Structure 1
């Protein structure tokens, strides 16, 4: 199947072609016609398979072929995302593939000044991409009206629920017109997602192109057993010995990310950290430098697990295994995207053996292990409790304030290129 087979207009097809794409991914091939029909949709697919374009392209098509009921430019589409990085990524797709349609869009999120966002909204928009907190903040200031919304998208809905946005989402839903098209996209069909869908969607089309929590077959997964104190030397060894040019590294904590960056820099490996304590400008610069090849390693916490979209990213390293097994799937899904191959390496110490078992149970496969010479783990090592975020904080965490625009609150811990290019944005 080609994009030209999906009923998209010439301006949209021209923009797609300019990016070098010809063939839709499976989720795009199924969701684009469904969205064009105008009904509600509940869709799930592995991370990195193109959910963003699955709703962006048909939304652009629908808006460009119909006039607003008010006869002037009014906000007709609202796309909600859980994180700033993902919001920026979605907005980039809207701009890229809608550049010949004449439609206007902007993105709003916390961590930056609101005045430019307020001005962009006031100038007139067709599409708004937003994180829940900043949207509620601007709604309370009467800077944005949702009275004419025709299409609502909840992107990465499972992640939004994980981050405690349910109350915020319900407030936003209450401000929307009752008659609208609802599109719910998620990496998984959890019980919570199904409950949200039951209350939001009206006889939705259901699309699931891969088993929930399965991993992409294009990603080679490997475990390196190692002592906890030798993780950093092993990572530096892997980067230098294999001449890795671009590697995304996940740590469990913000402090751990900062510490690892300092250690890697001492090893002569250019790196920067990206996490919730970094300013938005610092996060944007780190991501831009990484994409441009100015950094060898980008060290991230799980805030970036679904917000980083880099073509041909070759390597992902789990320096620490995630507290939540599902996050393993989202982390490694940053590689092996758009039909390319990728490698996901996890450095696992004795403290994380139960986490590894939980991950293997979730993805229903036993991951291969390889001990690197010189970094053999001590067979007599005793597991120590993993220092997670303050359990008191986790247990007493209250719903997010409206104005924080996409924080990183988490629930308590649980134990060869194709002949035609498809794309994942």
Structure 2
């Protein structure tokens, strides 16, 4: 199947061609026809499967085909709710790319920055609003956002939304939406609490599931290094001596830990930056921009930032610390090996993290190969 087989309108086909897209990923091939039929959708897809395009492309088509002569202050017709600033910006970039030859307008709103540019855009009128929950509720309360004429609602990364404590904000927003709408619900995992939330949002949905969260992409070569906690910095520097590693995304569990790793790397002459919730929005965006352009070789991130980091051709992910939630491991390493490309994932495991590693092995139903031949092996 190609995108040419999906009955897409010419402006979108043209944009996809310019983006170099020819073959849809499985989630795109399954979801796009369903959404174009105006049906509700429950989508289970892990990170890196092309999920954003799976809903952005058909949404643009539906809105474009229903587009009438509009006034400057037209109502918001579609809302995409997503948990992080980075992910919101990434989705906005996707709408810009796929919708460049349509008449559909969009804007992105999130917290941590001044609201005036966002409210200025809202005053002009937009078709599609991409938002994080806190800032959206804030602007609704101030009277800048009205959702009564909404046609399409998307809840993206629902499991991460709940992990971050946004469930009450999401429920408040749901109460403000018109009952008659098309709803799309995406989550990488489907525990009972997520299914309960989905049931309150969706009406007779079609279900699409690709690559269960318990699996990791076959294109990612995984390995684990057993190392004492005190030797992790030395091991990281040892690995980065390999010049073939052009860029590496390093994960820590805490913001403080990320900053400490960056300090060590910079002292050793490795260009690096941290990205986490304590950084200003401008600092986070600049760090991501520098990483994408390879001005910065190593980006050190916490899990909250994980799903918003979308970097083409990223070859290496390094788990400086093993995540204590096994699904998080799948999401972390899914930053590489995207859309069929090859990737490499290294994990550093100290004695206290062995239980976390066992949980990961159980989830992915295989043992990650151990690298024993390295100068900081603790022999365990």
Normalising by structure 1, what TM-score? 0.87
Q: Does 1:43 align with 2:27?
A: no
Q: Kindly state the Cα deviation for residue 338 of structure 1 after the two structures are TM-superposed.
A: 1.6
Return the offset for 1:67.
3.1
**Cα distance in 2 for residues equivalent to 1:224 and 1:150:** 50
Distance in 2, matches of 1:338 and 1:268, equals: 32
5+ residue gaps, structure 2, are: none
Report the Cα distance in structure 2 between the residues aligned to 1:238 and 1:246, rounded to whole angstroms.
12
Name 2:332's counterpart in structure 1: 331
Corresponding residue of 2:156: 155
Q: Matched residue of 1:240: which SS?
A: coil
Q: In the alignment, is the contact (CA less than 8 A) between 2:107 and 2:130 conserved in 1?
A: yes
Report the counterpart of residue 362 of structure 1 in structure 2.
Answer: 363
Deviation of 1:211 (Å): 2.2
CA distance in 1, matches of 2:193, 2:121: 34
**3-state SS of paired residue (2:376):** coil
Note the C-alpha offset of 1:170.
0.8
* 2:109 corresponds to: 108
Aligned pairs for 1:177-256 within 5 A: 177-241=178-242, 243-256=244-257
Where does the alignment leave 5 or more consecutive residues of structure 1 unmatched? 380-425
Contact 2:213 2:327 in 1 (8 A): no
For 1:198 and 1:176, locate their aligned partners in 2 and report how far apart those are by CA, in whole Å: 15
Counterparts of residues 299-318 of structure 1 (less than 5 Å)? 299-318=300-319
8 Å contact from structure 1 (residues 109, 130) kept in 2: yes
CA–CA distance in structure 2, aligned partners of residues 372 and 84 of structure 1: 40
The Cα shift of 1:244 comes to: 1.1
SS in 1 for 2:240: helix
Aligned position for 2:7: 7
Q: In structure 2, how many angstroms separate the alpha carbons of the residues matched to 1:191 and 1:363?
A: 20
After TM superposition, give the deviation of residue 373 of structure 1 in Å.
2.9
How far the C-alpha of 1:120 sits from its partner, in A, is: 0.3
Preserved CA contact (<8 Å) 1:46 1:215: no
Aligned equivalents of 2:303 and 2:318: distance in 1?
12
Q: Distance in 2 between matches of 1:328 and 1:275?
A: 17
Shift of 1:190: 1.6
User: What is the Cα deviation at residue 378 of structure 1?
Assistant: 5.5
Task: Give the SS at the match of 2:307.
Answer: coil
Alignment correspondent of 1:389: none
Contact 1:224 1:372 in 2 (8 A): no
Structure 2: how far apart are the matches of 1:180 and 1:284?
33
Residues 70 and 166 (structure 1), Cα distance of their counterparts in 2 relative to 1, 3 Å cut: farther
**d(CA) in 2 for partners of 1:289 and 1:9?**
35
Residue matched to 2:54: 54
DSSP 3-state at the match of 1:241: coil
Pairwise mapping of residues 40-119 of structure 1 onto structure 2 (< 5 A)?
40-67=40-67, 73-119=74-120
CA RMSD of aligned residues (A): 1.3
Q: CA 1:68/1:183 → structure 2, altered by over 3 Å: closer, same or farther?
A: farther
For the 8 Å contact 1:79–1:130, the answer to whether it is kept is yes
TM-score by length of 2: 0.97
Name the CA shift for 1:316/1:215 in 2 (closer, same or farther; >3 Å): same
State the Cα deviation string for residues 177-229 of structure 1 (Å, max 9, x = none).
Answer: 11000000111122111111111111100000122321111111100111111
